[in-house]
Amino acid sequence: MDTEAIYQKPTEAEIQGLLEARFGDKVRVTETGTRRVYADVDREVLHDVCVYLHDHMTFEHIQSLTGVDLVDNLRVVYHIDNYFNGCVVELNVDIPNDDPHVRTISDIWVGGNWHEREAWELFGIVFDGHKKLERLLTPDTYEFFPFRKSYKLRGQE
Amino acid sequence: MMERNLLDIRAESDELTTDKMWVIMGPQHPFSHGLWTLKVELDGEIVTDAEPIIGYLHRGWEKECENRDYPKIIPMTDRLCYAASMTYSHLYCMTVEKALGIEVPEKAQYLRVVADEICRISSHLMWLAAVGTDLGNLTVFLWSMREREYWMDLFVRLCGARMTTNYPRIGGVRNDITELFDRDVDRCTERFEKALWDIIALVDDSSIFVSRMKGTGVLTREQCVNLGITGPAMRGTGVDFDIRRDDPYEVYDKLDFEVPVLNDGDSYSRYLVRVEELFQSCRLIKQAMQKIRSIGKNAPYRLKVPSKVPAGTAMCRLEDPRGESMMYLVSDGTEKPYRLKVRSPIFVNVSAAKPLVVGSRVADVPVIMAMIDMCLGETDR
Amino acid sequence: MAYKSILDWITFGNIMENPWYPFGDLYNLPFDISYKLWEIIGGALAWLINLLLPGNPVSTWLVADGTSVGGALLIFMIVIFLVVFICTLLSLWMERKVLGRLMDRRGTMIGLKGFLQCVADGLKTFLKENTLPKKIDKMTYMWTVALVIGVSVLIACMIPLSGRWFVVNYETGLLIIMAFFALAPFLILVSGWAQNNKYSLIGGMRAAELMISYEIPILIMIMTGCFLAGSFNIGDIVNAQRDIWYIVPMAIGFVTFIFCATAEAERTPFDIAEAEAELVEGWQTEYAGMKWGLIMLAEYFRGYVSCAMIVILFLGGWNIPFVSDNVNNLVPELVFLAKVWLVFFVMILMRGAFARVRTDQIVNIGWKVFMPLSVLNFVIVLLLKAGGIY
C-alpha cells in the first residue's frame, strides 16, 4: 500500500493496513467494526500517527480525548473522526503513572485544546507542548487530580 | 482594568491614545444564558481578543457515575442538559447496550427516535427564543416558547414529565406510547409545521434581523472543522456531515430525511440550518410514528438485561441538537461503570469563542454565541 | 365693595379681563380652570379670615387680581403636570397591553384592566433603598440623571394639547422643544463616564453615536414643516394644516420622521444605548431603585413627545379635517391625545416586530437613508411652494 498517498474515504481495512505498514508494531490494530477502528499506540509515535491520520487520511476532527486511570497505569483515548465517510479511529495510549507525559495534539487539531486541559486537571496527564495547560473546570487552587481512582468519594471508601 | 491616574497617562505620551479595555461578560449577564463568562477585549466597539471561562457548574458528573449502578445513572443523564435531556439518556443507554452486546427491539428503537426528535424540536425552539432576546426582540422569544409548550405537552403524554424525562431504559424504553400521545402527535406536528412559518416570517422577512445575522461570526470550513465545532453550527459552515445519516444509529438509516447544509459560514446560515432541521425533525416523527403503528401494540419494547456489564470498552455517538455528543464507557465487569466519559458538543464549541467573535462588534457577540446555543449543564458536567 | 356672603368672595370673573393675565389675548383653558380653583380656595380662605377679623387687609389681598393670577399659576403647574403624567402612564399601560397581545400573553392584569400595575410599579421603585455604587463621581452621577428626567418632563409639559391648552406660546416653540429634546444624549454620555462602569461607558458612547445619526435629518424635516407653514409657532403649523395634513405633501418625510422620532425617544429598534443583550442595561446599569424608575418614566415622556411632534408636524395636530369649527373646537385636546396614542401604537408595533440595529448600521441608515430622504422631502416641498400650491 502507498503510505504517502492521500485517502479521502479510507475503508477500515485500508486504515488498518496503512497504519501497520507505516508504523510497524508500534501501532497495533486490535479490532475493527463498521466505521470503527480500534488501535493501541505507543506514546512515542502518537503525534506522528495523528499527523498521518490528519494529513493523509483526512481525519479532520478530534471528537474527544479521554483520560482513564487504570490504577496500574494511565491511559489516554483519542477518538478521531473522518467527515467524509463517518469513520472513527480510537487510539489507546498507555502511559506510566510515574511519568504521565504525552505530546500534545492541539497543534494538529485546535479542538483538542480544552480536552487536553480537562484531562490534565482531572487526571494529571501532562501534555507536552500545550500552550496553556491550566485548570479549566475546577478552581485554580486545587492541588489534586479529582478523577483519579486514588481520590475517593464519600461512600466509595 | 487597572486604575490609573490621569496625570500618569499624560506623562506617558503627549498624543491622545485610546486604551483597550477588558469587559467581563458574565457569569451574571443577559447574553450568557447560563453560568459562564466571556472576557472580551474591546477597542472602542471592536472585539480584539476573547477568552471564555467555564467551570461554574462543574459537579464531577463522571466521577459521581463511578459510584452508581448502571440503571441509576439514567436519571442523572437527564440533568446533563435541561433542553435536550432525552438525547443524553438515550446515548447512555445505547452505550451500555453496546457494552452488553444486545440489540433493542425495533419498536423501542423507533420510540427512541420519536423521543429524540421531539427533544430536538423543543431544544431548537429554546434556541430560537434565545436568539430573539439576543437580538432585542421579545416577540420571537414568546412565540417560540408558546410553540415549545405543545411539544412539552407531548412529552407529558409520552412519559409524564416535561424536562427530566427519564424515558429510555437499558434494553428499550420505559413504556409504550399512550393513547393520548398517539392521538396528539400528528396533530401537534401538522400544527407546528404551519405555526413555524409565523416565526420565520417575523425573522426572515425583516431586514433588520437578517442584517444583524448576515456576515457575523464567519468561519471557513477548515477553521470550523479544526476547531472541533459540530452540529448545526458546523453544517452552516459547509461541512456535509450528520451522524444520523453518515454513521447511523438505531433506525435512522431506514428513515427518509435531508441534512441541510449551507456554505456561507456566518450566523445567518447557522440560523437557517437550525430552522430547516425543525422541519426535518417533523418529517422524521411522522415516519417513525407510522412505523410504530404498523409494528402493532403488542410488540415488545423492552428487554431484560443483566445488571453486570462485561469488562471492556464501548463508545457511542449521537447527533445531539447542539452537535456530536459521545459517551465512552470503560467497564470492569461489576455493576458500576469504571469510567464514563461524556463528550459534550458545547464544551468544544465554546472553546472556539475567540476565533468566532474576534473582529466583530460587541453588539454581535450575543448573536454569534447564540448560534452556538449554550447549555452549561453538559459543558461543565 | 362690600363683602357679605361667601359668593361675594368667589366671583368667577372673566380671566381675560384680569390685567395680570399672563397669556395676552389668547384664551388658556388650564389656566382658566386653575384660576377658578384658586378663586374657590383663596375666596374661601378670605371669607373665613374676614369672618374672624372683619375688614382686615389680608382678605382683600387674597382676592386681588395679581394674587389670584399668582395662585392660579401654582395650580396651573400642577394641572399641566398631572395631565401629562396621566397621559404618559396611559401610554405606558397601552404599551404593556398591546405588546402583551402581540406576544400572545395578557400583559399587566392588576386592576382597571392592568392600569394599576403602573401605579404599583411606581410605588415599588419609590420604596426601594437608595443604593450608590462605590467609586462613582457622585455629583455628576446624580445631576445627570436628574437633568435627563427633568428635561424630559419639561418638554412633555411644553407640548400644547390644543390652541387653548398650552404653557407658553412661543414664536419658536418647535425649535425650543427640539433643543431640549436633543440635550439628553449629552447628559447620557456624561452619566456613562460618571458611573465607573464599562457597560455604562459604552452605552453613553452609543447614545452620542446614535445622536449624530438622526439629529440632522430630524432637524431638516422640522425645518421643512415650518417652511411649509411659514412659522415656527406650533399653533400656526397646526392651523396651516386645517384641512389637508402635511402628511400629504411630506409623505416621504413622514415615514422618515417616524423612524427618527423612534430613535430620538430611544425605543426599539434604536435603543442601542441600553441594549440589554450585550450591555446589561446600557447607561442605566448603575442606577437602581427610584432613580431607575424615574428614568424609565422619563423614557415614556420622551416617547410621548416624539409622538406629539409627529402629530403636530404631519397629522394636523388637534384639528379634524372637513368638519365645522363648532365640532372642531369641542374637545381638541382629546383629538390631539387620540392621535398621539395612535402614533404611539405604531411605535409599539415596531417594538414588537423589529430587532435592535447595530451602532454602525444606525449611523449608516442615518447618513445614507434618512439624510437623503429628508433632503428629497425638502426639495419636494420647495417645488410645491415654488409652484404656488402652498
| pLDDT tens-digit series, residues B169-226 | 888 888 888 888 888 888 888 889 888 888 888 888 888 888 888 888 888 888 888 8
Cα angle for residues A104, A110, A113 (degrees, 5° grid): 55
Instruction: Express as a percent the part of chain C with pLDDT over 90.
Output: 11
What span, in angstroms and rounded, lies between the C-alpha atoms of C349 and A86?
48
C100's CB contacts (< 8 A; 6+ apart) are C106, C107, C108
Residue C267: inside a domain: yes
The one-character DSSP state at C349 is: H
Identity of the residue in C104, C356, C360 whose CB atom sits nearest the CB atom of B136? C356
Query: What's A12-128's CATH class?
Result: alpha beta
Residue C8: inside a domain: no
Identity of the residue in A69, A111, A147 whose CB atom sits nearest the CB atom of B227? A111
Kindly state whether B330 is in contact with chain A, defined as any CB-CB distance less than 8 angstroms: yes
In which band, very low, low, confident or very high, does the pLDDT at C32 lie, cut at 50, 70 and 90?
confident
Residue C93: inside a domain: no
Q: Which residue did the predictor score with more confidence, B158 or A155?
A: B158
Strands (E) across B88-241 are located at 168-169, 172-173
Helix ranges (H only) for B296-352 are 345-351
Taking residue C51's Cβ as centre, other Cβ atoms within 10 Å add up to 10
Q: What Å distances lie between residue C117 and C97, C102, C108, C287, CA to CA?
A: 11, 19, 6, 22
What span, in angstroms and rounded, lies between the C-alpha atoms of B191 and C165?
54
Do C232 and C315 have their domain in common?
Answer: yes
What per-residue confidence (pLDDT) applies to B307? Answer: 83
Domain boundary among C48, C82, C116: C82
Q: Which residues of B touch C (CB under 8 A)?
A: 1, 21, 23, 25, 29-31, 42, 45, 133-139, 141-143, 146, 202, 206, 208-209, 211-212, 361-366
Cβ–Cβ under 8 Å, residues B378 and B81: yes
Which pLDDT tens digit goes with each residue over C52-89? 887 788 888 887 778 888 888 899 999 989 999 999 98
- Give contacts of B222 with chain A, Cβ < 8 Å: 60
Q: List beta partners, residue B50.
A: B40
In which band, very low, low, confident or very high, does the pLDDT at B12 lie, cut at 50, 70 and 90?
low
ipTM: 0.87
Taking residue C233's Cβ as centre, other Cβ atoms within 10 Å add up to 19
What span, in angstroms and rounded, lies between the C-alpha atoms of B115 and B296?
18
Residue C240: inside a domain: yes
> Does the beta-carbon distance from C278 to B366 stay under 8 Å?
yes
Kindly state whether B333 is in contact with chain A, defined as any CB-CB distance less than 8 angstroms: no
What per-residue confidence (pLDDT) applies to B16? Answer: 61
Interface of A with B in 56-115 (CB under 8 A): 60-64, 66, 68-69, 77, 79, 83, 85-86, 88, 90, 109-115
> Over 70: is that where the pLDDT of C310 sits?
yes
Residue type, C10: I
Kindly state whether A47 is in contact with chain B, defined as any CB-CB distance less than 8 angstroms: no
Chain B: give the shortest CA distance to residue A110, in Å: 5
> Over 70: is that where the pLDDT of B13 sits?
no
* Domain total in chain C: 2
Pull the grid cell for residue C106.
395578557
Give Dmax over CA atoms of chain C in angstroms: 75
Kindly state whether C360 is in contact with chain B, defined as any CB-CB distance less than 8 angstroms: yes
In which band, very low, low, confident or very high, does the pLDDT at B1 lie, cut at 50, 70 and 90?
very low
Residue C90: inside a domain: no
Do C66 and C155 have their domain in common?
Answer: no
Cβ–Cβ under 8 Å, residues C80 and C156: no
Kindly state whether C354 is in contact with chain B, defined as any CB-CB distance less than 8 angstroms: yes
Dihedral of CA C206/C212/C217/C220: which sign? positive
Q: Are C and A close enough to touch, i.e. 3+ CB pairs under 8 angstroms? A: no
- Give the residue from C377, C342, C378, C373 showing the smallest Cα distance to C214: C373
- Give the residue from B89, B260, B264 showing the smallest Cα distance to B159: B89
> Does the beta-carbon distance from B137 to C353 stay under 8 Å?
yes
DSSP string, A29-79: EEEEETTEEEEEE-TTTHHHHHHHHHHHS---EEEEEEEEE-SSEEEEEEE
In which band, very low, low, confident or very high, does the pLDDT at C376 lie, cut at 50, 70 and 90?
very high
- Give contacts of B361 with chain C, Cβ < 8 Å: 358-360
Q: Which residue did the predictor score with more confidence, C18 or C129?
A: C129
What per-residue confidence (pLDDT) applies to B264? Answer: 86
What per-residue confidence (pLDDT) applies to C290? Answer: 87
What per-residue confidence (pLDDT) applies to C345? Answer: 93
> Over 60: is that where the pLDDT of B6 sits?
no
What span, in angstroms and rounded, lies between the C-alpha atoms of C159 and C84?
9
Do C50 and C148 have their domain in common?
Answer: no
Chain A: give the shortest CA distance to residue B155, in Å: 31
State the best of B49, B65, B91, B226 to mutate against chain A, taking most chain A CBs within 10 Å.
Answer: B226
Pull the grid cell for residue B345.
458538543
Strands B46-53 and B337-343 turn out to be: unpaired
> Over 50: is that where the pLDDT of B348 sits?
yes
Q: Are B and A close enough to touch, i.e. 3+ CB pairs under 8 angstroms? A: yes
> Over 60: is that where the pLDDT of B2 sits?
no
> Does the beta-carbon distance from B364 to C276 stay under 8 Å?
no
Q: What is the mean pLDDT of residues C204-214?
A: 85
The mean of the pLDDT values for chain C is 86
> Does the beta-carbon distance from B351 to A114 stay under 8 Å?
yes
- Give contacts of C99 with chain B, Cβ < 8 Å: 138
Kindly state whether B49 is in contact with chain A, defined as any CB-CB distance less than 8 angstroms: no
The mean of the pLDDT values for chain B is 86
- Give contacts of C356 with chain B, Cβ < 8 Å: 135-137, 208, 212, 363
Q: Which residue did the predictor score with more confidence, B157 or C16?
A: B157
Q: What is the mean pLDDT of residues C141-166?
A: 88
Q: What is the mean pLDDT of residues C106-133?
A: 87
Residue C114: inside a domain: no
Say how many Å lie between the first and final Cα of chain A, rounded. Answer: 53
State the best of B23, B203, B207, B213 to mutate against chain C, taking most chain C CBs within 10 Å.
Answer: B23
Identity of the residue in C277, C354, C357 whose CB atom sits nearest the CB atom of B31? C277
What per-residue confidence (pLDDT) applies to A155? Answer: 66
Do C356 and C254 have their domain in common?
Answer: yes
Q: What is the mean pLDDT of residues C146-175?
A: 86
In which band, very low, low, confident or very high, does the pLDDT at B30 lie, cut at 50, 70 and 90?
confident
Residue B255 backbone zone (phi > 0: left; psi -120 to 50: alpha; other: beta): beta
Which pLDDT tens digit goes with each residue over A15-33? 888 888 888 888 888 888 8
The mean of the pLDDT values for chain A is 85
Subunits adjacent to chain B (3 or more Cβ pairs under 8 Å): A, C
State the best of B45, B149, B214 to mutate against chain C, taking most chain C CBs within 10 Å.
Answer: B45
What per-residue confidence (pLDDT) applies to C3? Answer: 64
State the best of B33, B137, B367, B371 to mutate against chain C, taking most chain C CBs within 10 Å.
Answer: B137
What per-residue confidence (pLDDT) applies to B8? Answer: 54
In which band, very low, low, confident or very high, does the pLDDT at A149 lie, cut at 50, 70 and 90?
confident
Cβ–Cβ under 8 Å, residues B359 and B215: no
Subunits adjacent to chain C (3 or more Cβ pairs under 8 Å): B
Pull the grid cell for residue C312.
403636530
C88's CB contacts (< 8 A; 6+ apart) are C156, C297, C300, C301, C304
CB pairs under 8 A between A and B: 90
- Give contacts of A76 with chain B, Cβ < 8 Å: none
Which pLDDT tens digit goes with each residue over B292-341? 888 888 888 888 888 888 888 898 988 888 888 899 999 888 888 888 88
- Give contacts of A83 with chain B, Cβ < 8 Å: 225, 239-241, 246
Taking residue C242's Cβ as centre, other Cβ atoms within 10 Å add up to 15
> Does the beta-carbon distance from A111 to B330 stay under 8 Å?
no
> Over 70: is that where the pLDDT of B134 sits?
yes
Which pLDDT tens digit goes with each residue over A68-124? 988 888 889 999 988 888 888 888 998 888 888 888 888 888 888 888 888 888 888
Kindly state whether C98 is in contact with chain B, defined as any CB-CB distance less than 8 angstroms: no
What span, in angstroms and rounded, lies between the C-alpha atoms of A85 and A81?
9
Do C379 and C304 have their domain in common?
Answer: yes
In which band, very low, low, confident or very high, does the pLDDT at C342 lie, cut at 50, 70 and 90?
very high
Kindly state whether B37 is in contact with chain A, defined as any CB-CB distance less than 8 angstroms: no
Cβ–Cβ under 8 Å, residues B256 and B283: yes
- Give contacts of B31 with chain C, Cβ < 8 Å: 277-278
Cβ–Cβ under 8 Å, residues B282 and B192: yes
B8-380 to CATH, choices 3.30.2130.10, 1.10.645.10, 3.10.20.30, 1.20.1090.10? 1.10.645.10
The parent domain of residue C28 ranges over 13-82
What per-residue confidence (pLDDT) applies to B14? Answer: 59
Return the axis-axis angle of helices C289-314 and C251-264, rounded to nearest 10°. Answer: 170
What span, in angstroms and rounded, lies between the C-alpha atoms of B8 and B28?
33
Do C342 and C229 have their domain in common?
Answer: yes
Residue C337: inside a domain: yes
> Over 80: is that where the pLDDT of C24 sits?
no
> Does the beta-carbon distance from C198 to B202 stay under 8 Å?
no
- Give contacts of B240 with chain A, Cβ < 8 Å: 83
Instruction: Express as a percent the part of chain C with pLDDT over 70.
Output: 99
